Amino acid sequence: MNIKILIVEDEFIVGNALRLAVENGGYSVTGIMASVEEAEENIRSQQPDLVLLDIRLEGASSGIDLARKLRSENIPFIYLSAHSSQKILEEAKTTEPYGFLVKPFREKDLLVALEIALYRHRHSLEAQLRQEDFLQKQLAAISNETTTAEQKLLKIARLLQSYIPFDLISVGPRPFDVAQFNDTTYLRIGFDEYQFIREQELTTITGLTKDEFSCIIKNSHTDTDAIIYRDELNDPSLQKIWFDFFNCQAYLVFPVTVRNGSAVHYFFYSRQRAIYTEKHIALLGRLKIYLTELAEKMTHTARTIDQPGSTNKEPGEAANHPEFQGIIGNHPLLLTTLDLTTRIAPYNTSVLILGESGTGKEKVAYYIHALSQRTKGPFVKVNCAAIPTTLIESELFGHEKGAFTGAIEKRKGRFEQADGGTIFLDEIGELPLDMQVKLLRVLQEKEISSVGSSSSVKVNVRIVAATNRNLEKEVAEGNFRLDLYYRLNVFPITLPPLRERKTDIEALALFFANRFCQEFNKPFEGITASMMEEMRAYNWPGNIRELENIIEQSVILNDGKSKLELMRSLTMVAPAVAGEINIETLEDVKHVQKETERAYLISILKRTNGRIRGTNGAAEILNIKPTTLEAKIAKLNIKRQDFIHPTENP
């Protein structure tokens, strides 16, 4: 094993102990450096494979400063820390480390962290190459389509948005020709949806005349090299247009040369400060052939920007993603999630879907399967929270006849059932520690052992896991294995809660209302403005599932002759958090969320008079399993007297 490790630690005793532990693990050490400057020199001369990096270092620069450089050079690193404030830890997290060790730590923990970090880095490089290869194939397919230039730009922008973040993209010739005012095309992202903007509309937005606008950009960015603007612009006029009116904080300019010798520039604008790096320019350089071809088409063909990318989709369905039938919404956070889903689907990489209950994690898991090469294989769903602890091993891996009392025949487990397809492990955070060890073996060895068997069986299964828990916190508290977390977290996808994509509420409400009206054979007359207003103001702790239940209730109780109205108030606030709330820490936020969820569950239990199971029971209304609801009731310390009045019959 010829893997070189650099140690950046300004305490000699700690650094030397790290060296001994690393060498005992079979690695070589390129040096122990006490400052960022020394470390940079070592990196240039020795080219280490991984860096163990103390956050606090002597000198003007910190470990976080060095981490940013390591990230830009694609060198994996693990943070070392003793006592760091929450602010420093949050800043460190933004650099996306490959691990985090808190001093003092055991040699075993260090070696495990090194193994996981190297594994993640190796596979992330492989995944990056595979994804970029897939991206180039997609771009080549778009280039061969017989569509307009704007339609091609729209499709290319959707693909690039996951690789190069932007809120606005424009493409046009430089130097700008005043006589050809429409030679620049603008595509805005991050508002309601992807949309084209005419330059005439930009003059209206900025308050500038056509001549003033064209004069400002006439000779802007005529350089032939790519440029990154990370902060404010030197040109106050350009600052006024892009940074002041559109709230952009950085942008990237990438020029290409078309056959007639003129230059066409691609401009990527972002509202995030210092978002662009040399890696983005390098990627665009590798994709230059496709960008040049598009520029050629935009230079020589007429524009049709009035109706870009029109489709025959259902109103409200996820725009730009026809493969996601039934997923409703056009919010940028949702579109980003769907972009990630399409990128990872073709590969066998494990996926971890994160998000609150009711955000649609199972739907995304299914589409990962449906868009993959395993689509003809089985898609097996497992709710880890719903299986009793004593049965979960048998449920997952199967059992032999006579393995335990009641095992009257040999039975295949869910993993064998999913052979050749995908297994979806929902609520993975509920898995017991002993089962986590066995799941880790499946990920590593691709084989299982059924209960009562002494032999192993190879399985060809892709694992997609999901959780609404903070697994990093669970790892810190000893409830979830660190090595399993990193194995699963190779490609995380986070689903936004409904309160963060409220622009989708109307489309979702109309979709559910139409569906339930058809199901119950009732005419749909619309939704009242007051109901829609109250739904937009509500924070939806139960997310889309709660919205669906509210709409279903309204349809059931509606007379079929009038618009839908709310059948109950959506303004419930738990007594413990009502009024003025002093939120200063993350724990305060979690407390508010917990109390809000508790109040919501109590209100549902009051409606059902404490009935949990069966028709019209609380579990059915919430669309969750009764066992899951009972676990939540216990966890939130909800007592019978909270929802049953003493004078009522039990």
pLDDT, tens digit, for every residue of 345-389? 888 888 999 998 889 999 999 999 998 889 999 999 999 988 888
Confidence of residue 477 (pLDDT cuts 50, 70, 90): confident
pLDDT, tens digit, for every residue of 108-135? 888 888 988 888 787 776 666 777 777 8
Q: In Å, what is the CA distance from 208 to each residue of 185, 205, 216, 241, 372?
A: 18, 8, 10, 9, 49
**pTM of this structure:** 0.49
The CATH number given to 497-529+543-570 is 1.10.8.60
The token duo for 416 is: 């064998």
CB neighbourhood size of 289 (10 A): 13
Distance from C-alpha of 95 to C-alpha of 53, rounded to nearest angstrom: 12
| Cβ atoms of 339 and 158 closer than 8 Å | yes
CATH 3.30.300.30: does it fit domain 332-494? no
CATH number of the domain at 4-116, out of 3.90.190.20, 3.40.50.2300, 3.40.630.10, 3.40.1710.10?
Answer: 3.40.50.2300
Boundaries of every domain in the chain: 4-116, 145-300, 332-494, 497-529+543-570, 572-650
Q: Report which listed range, 485-489, 550-554, 571-575, is most confident.
A: 550-554
Domains 4-116 and 332-494 share a fold: yes
Read off the amino acid at residue 524. Answer: F
Which CATH architecture fits 145-300?
2-Layer Sandwich (3.30)
Q: In Å, what is the CA distance from 464 to each residue of 118, 270, 341, 497, 554?
A: 22, 32, 12, 20, 35
Q: Where are the alpha helices (DSSP H) in 198-273?
A: 199-206, 210-217, 236-238
Rounded to the nearest 10°, the torsion over CA 517, 522, 526, 530 is -90
Location of structure tokens 């052939």: 289
pLDDT, tens digit, for every residue of 395-448? 899 888 776 767 678 788 899 999 999 999 999 998 999 899 889 888 888 888
Per-residue confidence (pLDDT) for residue 346, from 0 to 100: 85
